[in-house]
Structure 1
Amino acid sequence: MTDRRPQPRAAVFRRAALSLALIAGVGAVHAAEPAPAADPARCHAGAYRLDDGRVVDIGAVATPGTLRWRLMDGRTGKLTQRDGAWTSTRGWTDRPDGVAVSFGDCAQGRIRYDGHAGRKLRFDIRETRFQGNGVELRGRLVLPEGRDKVPLVVLVHGSENYSGVDLYHLQNLFPANGVGVFVYDKRGTGGSTGKYNQNFYQLSDDAAAALREAKRLAGARAGRTGFQGGSQGGWVAPLAASKEPQAEFVVVGFGLADGVLAEDRDQVAMDLRAAGFGDADTLAKAREVSDVTGLIASSDGQRGWDELAALRAKYGEQPWWKALKGEYTGLVINKTRAEVLAELAKQDVDVSWDYDPMPVLRGLRAPQLWIVGGSDLEAPSDETQKRLVGLAGEGRPITTAVFPAADHGMLEFDVDAKGERQHTRVADGYFRMQLDWIKRGALDHAPYGSAQVLAQPK
């Protein structure tokens, strides 16, 4: 939901150690602090209606003097100001895209985007503070202007530790397309009190409280109301819906229908296949290793070391051992115990390692839409797809769609000469699919780009 380039896994480990945080947004784990409120570029943030009828969203990002534009079809670019002029680069790359963007005076709310004039849309906005689970949270309700009822969606956080109120772009893009949004700062971030954590049980309590506050503020204008969560929000949003009977739907993007440890486990298998070690015997042996590194991670380094030493003695000389990567497995096996413990000691985010999402997904009566990326490196989706299709087959109200070429964040990409992914845009159809389903509970305007619908309720 914000603007950060996906980070190499080694950098993720150094910064987030073994927290397995899945960001709701555009890539891997982020630890950005928000731009100062005095950043003059922020006055341009908002949704603009162009003279050809299109909407372009201008979003604030964490770097001062920088903005991001987005179109409904997923095209996007980073705007950087130099000497009073704005330069646009394609997606999250540094390559110029030739898109010309300029703004008028902030009070005028005018834009010129790629040869088209536009004016900033006005919304009905209410700021609020409300009680979560033992914390006071800052929130904002954003509704399209008017008096009519509108669908209302509460944006549930991923693992980010910055202000959603300041930086989430969907608070402009969705209202510009007829859907109200309630956005809030998760505990310990932005204007909310408490300590930042990744405790899904507490975070889901906060999200449920956010939905109640959204309904209260919207009053008679609140239509169909539910949650939207990306990445780690895929664990939190359904859990919140199971606690809040007013929740009428859940939308999940690039989340997992498996436990927290599955992220590393599935990444290990993916990396081995990419390195040419995809036979069943090797993958089974690697699973032994990832189970033990998961034990080390989930016990804060208190358990698993003897088991790891035994596996290293058993498999350490085999050629696939050096190809072990994953979210953290490769780093744990290549660092000393003291180094890993030192990293773990820096982390105190109370990850819900024990959380099993399947009982919640199986028991949830509110309809769910899950959208996953078929090329997701951070949250490999094969097992999630199987589980969700299976739940739909059991008669659960779950619709599942996959964008085959999309990475985490539903981002499409090029591959550079070094083999690194360069994220270029959001998958075409991702925004439209969510809006249609939030408004009507149906995917009735297909096709949605390259999306494949895997299962729908019978």
Structure 2
Amino acid sequence: MLRILFAVLLALAACRAQADECLVGAYRLGDASLDIAPSDGGLRWRHVEGATGLLVADGAGGWTSLEGWTGRPDGHRIEFAGCAQGELRFDGVAARRIPLRVTETAFAGRDGVSLAGRLLMPEGEAVVPLVVLIHGAENLSARRWDFMQRQLPAEGVAAFVYDKRGTGESGGQYTQDYDVLADDAVAALAEARRLGGARIGRSGFRGGSQGGWVAPLAATRTSADFVIAAYGLAVSPVEEDREAVILQMQLKGHGADVIESALEIVDAAAEVARSRFTAGIDAFDAVRARYRDEPWYDDVHGNFTHLLLPHYGEALRREGQAYNFGTPWDYDAMAVLRGLRTPQLWQLAEADIDAPMGETFRRLRRLVREQDAPVGIAVFPGAEHGMTLFETAADGSRTSLRYPAGYTRMTVDFAKGRLAGDYGDARLYLPD
């Protein structure tokens, strides 16, 4: 009986969440914008200056906010007037939905694969900049989950969002082949420009995480006015994994000798990944056998090594195919960047343990010095992957609290062709 009741409650919650999605949108709250987005378990609000919370219906006609991703009430409350009215009250302050011009489309990516896209523009006839939002490694629908599709036009910048191949309503097979994804991004920019017509001014790409590899590559294949890479990398996926393990082991308090041993495991895992999980397995098994009883072994994680650690022998050969997405493990990001003259903004998270910024920062700064590359860098202190600030538990686990102040505003300003003033605590390194 309890199992049946639980199932009924889950079904009711799912129905409620679906019904509430008509509340999703960008709202004008004073002189700022507030985004209401779908979220597992309710809705999520995001202020343009970074504060965010999960909204949970409180049974009294309103929604209680839980701070960041903590599950703790933060004292905020939102009341919606209803879907048709397009109004809400945030802590008693009225806000109205910002009207956006939304155009759904389907366009052809590489090899004719049909991709589902959406152009969102500010109302009116003014010429506005355009940002094509390039996804990260996630296999979810960007048209559903990418909240920047509303945040940017709410601040006067058109946004084009699309489901990458193999996700959402797009055709084709999911891939992490940057060459293919870059061609799809080029097609997305062309489609956005076609739909926006004479209203489109400056236009370029914004890629988060894995999109930080794809966006610059796409810009070498078309005419783009700018590239924004958010918590992306100028190293290869294999180098990313090594950097992640080094940083993670350091944070766990391990010394250089332990880290050197851990990197033997990482390098063996890289050989397996390079072979598309068909070779190097015996060597990977052997190095793990040598170290698996060490007290530090369970602290080896990395970006992809941890996915392989549970599997041995033929099981790894078989199970590894679940991660065989065509990832270019030794991708030469710098070869692309050295040939790119498109103005770039790299937004780096200083406390990122998934994609550590250290070597990327050094390479980008060297590129500016040696080639006078049009590359600006913004470092956000205390931010991790996804550009969120966080709290750390006693066991070292992190829980995100909010986005850094100035992060979204910086994205908007760069798309508009100018960076001016302060952007929260971000440190800016701009080319002369």
1:206 aligns with 2:180: no
- Identity value in percent: 46
Q: CA deviation at 1:315?
A: 5.7
Identify if the C-alpha distance between structure 1 residues 273 and 193 changes in structure 2 by more than 3 Å, giving closer, same or farther. same
Q: Give the secondary structure class of the aligned counterpart of 1:393.
A: helix
Q: Distance in 1 between matches of 2:98 and 2:230?
A: 26
1:103 aligns with 2:80: yes
Q: Give the secondary structure class of the aligned counterpart of 1:261.
A: helix
**Residue 30 of structure 1 aligns with which residue?**
none
Q: Are the counterparts in 2 of residues 88 and 97 from structure 1 also a CA contact under 8 Å? A: yes
Q: Are the counterparts in 2 of residues 392 and 456 from structure 1 also a CA contact under 8 Å? A: no
Q: Distance in 1 between matches of 2:307 and 2:211?
A: 26
Q: Give the secondary structure class of the aligned counterpart of 1:243.
A: coil
Q: Distance in 1 between matches of 2:308 and 2:235?
A: 22
Counterpart residue type for residue 190 of structure 2: R
Segments of structure 2 that go 5 or more residues without pairing to the other structure are 1-13
Identify if the C-alpha distance between structure 1 residues 132 and 332 changes in structure 2 by more than 3 Å, giving closer, same or farther. closer
1:224 aligns with 2:199: no
Alignment of 1:125-164 (within 5 A): 125-134=102-111, 135-164=113-142
Q: Distance in 1 between matches of 2:308 and 2:141?
A: 31
Q: Distance in 2 between matches of 1:37 and 1:88?
A: 17
Q: Distance in 2 between matches of 1:254 and 1:96?
A: 29
**Residue 290 of structure 1 aligns with which residue?**
266
Q: CA deviation at 1:407?
A: 0.7
Equivalent position to 1:90, from 67, 78, 83: 67
Deviation string 1:365-420 (CA, Å, 9 cap, x unpaired) is: 11110011111111111111111111111211111111120011110011224432
Identify if the C-alpha distance between structure 1 residues 195 and 309 changes in structure 2 by more than 3 Å, giving closer, same or farther. closer
**Residue 10 of structure 2 aligns with which residue?**
none
Q: CA deviation at 1:429?
A: 1.2
1:456 aligns with 2:424: no
Counterpart residue type for residue 56 of structure 1: L
Equivalent position to 1:190, from 168, 178, 191: 168
| Larger mean Cα displacement after TM superposition, 332-341 or 140-149 | 332-341
1:381 aligns with 2:357: yes
Q: CA deviation at 1:191?
A: 1.6
**Residue 92 of structure 2 aligns with which residue?**
115
Deviation string 1:413-443 (CA, Å, 9 cap, x unpaired) is: 1122443211100111111111111112x32
Q: CA deviation at 1:309?
A: 5.0
**Residue 8 of structure 2 aligns with which residue?**
none
1:48 aligns with 2:41: no
| Larger mean Cα displacement after TM superposition, 187-196 or 405-414 | 187-196
Equivalent position to 1:79, from 32, 38, 55: 55
1:363 aligns with 2:339: yes
**Residue 5 of structure 2 aligns with which residue?**
none
Q: Are the counterparts in 1 of residues 276 and 324 from structure 2 also a CA contact under 8 Å? A: no
Q: CA RMSD in A?
A: 2.2
Q: CA deviation at 1:347?
A: 3.7
Q: Distance in 2 between matches of 1:190 and 1:331?
A: 25
Counterpart residue type for residue 293 of structure 1: A
Equivalent position to 2:386, from 409, 414, 420: 409
**Residue 429 of structure 1 aligns with which residue?**
406
| Larger mean Cα displacement after TM superposition, 139-148 or 313-322 | 313-322
Q: Distance in 1 between matches of 2:284 and 2:102?
A: 54
Counterpart residue type for residue 298 of structure 1: R
Q: Give the secondary structure class of the aligned counterpart of 1:349.
A: coil
Q: Give the secondary structure class of the aligned counterpart of 1:99.
A: strand
Identify if the C-alpha distance between structure 1 residues 313 and 176 changes in structure 2 by more than 3 Å, giving closer, same or farther. closer
Q: Are the counterparts in 2 of residues 269 and 278 from structure 1 also a CA contact under 8 Å? A: no
Q: Distance in 2 between matches of 1:321 and 1:247?
A: 46
Identify if the C-alpha distance between structure 1 residues 110 and 269 changes in structure 2 by more than 3 Å, giving closer, same or farther. same
Deviation string 1:335-356 (CA, Å, 9 cap, x unpaired) is: 4223423321334422222421
Identify if the C-alpha distance between structure 1 residues 333 and 86 changes in structure 2 by more than 3 Å, giving closer, same or farther. closer
Segments of structure 1 that go 5 or more residues without pairing to the other structure are 1-34
Q: Give the secondary structure class of the aligned counterpart of 1:216.
A: helix
| Larger mean Cα displacement after TM superposition, 392-401 or 310-319 | 310-319
Q: Distance in 2 between matches of 1:367 and 1:232?
A: 19
Q: Are the counterparts in 1 of residues 311 and 319 from structure 2 also a CA contact under 8 Å? A: no
| Larger mean Cα displacement after TM superposition, 309-318 or 325-334 | 309-318
Q: Distance in 2 between matches of 1:207 and 1:330?
A: 30
Q: Distance in 2 between matches of 1:122 and 1:238?
A: 32
Identify if the C-alpha distance between structure 1 residues 104 and 318 changes in structure 2 by more than 3 Å, giving closer, same or farther. closer
Q: CA deviation at 1:131?
A: 0.8
Q: Give the secondary structure class of the aligned counterpart of 1:264.
A: helix
TM-score (ref. length: structure 1): 0.86
| Larger mean Cα displacement after TM superposition, 71-80 or 258-267 | 258-267
